[in-house]
Amino acid sequence: MTREGERALLGGVSSLAPLAHDDARPEGSPVATVVFLHGFPLDRRLWRRQLASLPRAGVRVVALDLPGFGGARTRARPPSIEAMASEVAATIDTLGLSRPIVCGLSMGGYVALALARGWSDRIGGLVLADTRASADSEAARAGREANIERARSQGASAVFASMIPNVFASDARREVVDELAQIAASQSVEGVVAALEAMRDRPDLTGSLPALRLPTTVVVGARDVLTPPSEAESMARAIPGARAVIVPEAAHFPNVDNPGAFDAALLDAARR
């Protein structure tokens, strides 16, 4: 997509400053660069462990705040997953990244798929973690409305609190739950509502999976009930050449539940 097209998508935003990000580089030339896109309602701090570990294995890690989260404002009206992808593409351009691997988790995976569809020339590979290609069901859309109401009346932390039974295993470590709850609590109501609207209205991209021509790894926590292994396996079957990796002892956030196994899957994708 052209810069003009991207600006039109963003409703006349005239300057596309890069999204807020952390950039952790290895010593020497990187074996690969991976752009990480976080899940909802979090920010780039979701990737704290990978920012520390992967550069030691030679990988440059660029973790972005998606529009509306952390240090990145929501600029598109109406908000959409495609507009988020447009801002990620502009950030890849502005940072001069040459066809990085893009790893998106859950909501970040929706953005990664939109990026692969509209801006495939900007990326060299995909890691889709704990996500899905399908649109929201009627029940899920009703859940978005309830969460929009919850965010407006009780704030961002109440939205995350309502997700906890679905995103963590019942025996999840308390400090991990608290770490992500604190990140969620710091998000703005405006950003959380915009993302809920964008996810509610996102199109079904299932039909576009067979046309993907990027090396793809689909990763999922073995105990993820929100986007379960069966979903990951069917996405991997639909994408030519893709493979599925199931991360043991992990639920919806395998990069924090079992970072060693998640990083191994990432490094394998980077080396391929």
Chain contacts with ligand MLT (rule: CB under 6 A): 39-40, 106-107, 199, 226, 252
Question: CA 15, 20, 21 angle in degrees (round to 5)?
Answer: 130
Rg (CA), the chain: 17
Cα–Cα nearest to 129, from 158, 92, 98, 167: 167
As a whole number of angstroms, the distance between CA 108 and CA 115 comes to: 10
> Which residue number, 16 or 81, has a Cβ lying nearer to ligand MLT?
81
Residue 39 Cβ vs ligand MLT, minimum distance, rounded to whole Å? 3
> Which residue number, 6 or 231, has a Cβ lying nearer to ligand MLT?
231
> Which residue number, 34 or 159, has a Cβ lying nearer to ligand MLT?
159
> Which residue number, 94 or 154, has a Cβ lying nearer to ligand MLT?
154
Query: What residues contact residue 222 under an 8 Å CB cut-off, 6+ apart?
Result: 229, 246, 247, 248, 249, 250
| Cβ contact 246:98 at 8 Å | no
Residue 14 Cβ vs ligand MLT, minimum distance, rounded to whole Å? 30
> Which residue number, 93 or 197, has a Cβ lying nearer to ligand MLT?
197
As a whole number of angstroms, the distance between CA 199 and CA 140 comes to: 10
Residue 163 Cβ vs ligand MLT, minimum distance, rounded to whole Å? 6
> Which residue number, 32 or 81, has a Cβ lying nearer to ligand MLT?
81
Question: CA 55, 59, 63 angle in degrees (round to 5)?
Answer: 80
Within 13 Å and on the Cβ side, how many CA atoms surround 23?
12
Cα–Cα nearest to 143, from 223, 256, 40, 68: 40
**Residue 161 has which token pair?**
């609190």
**Residue 75 has which token pair?**
């600029």
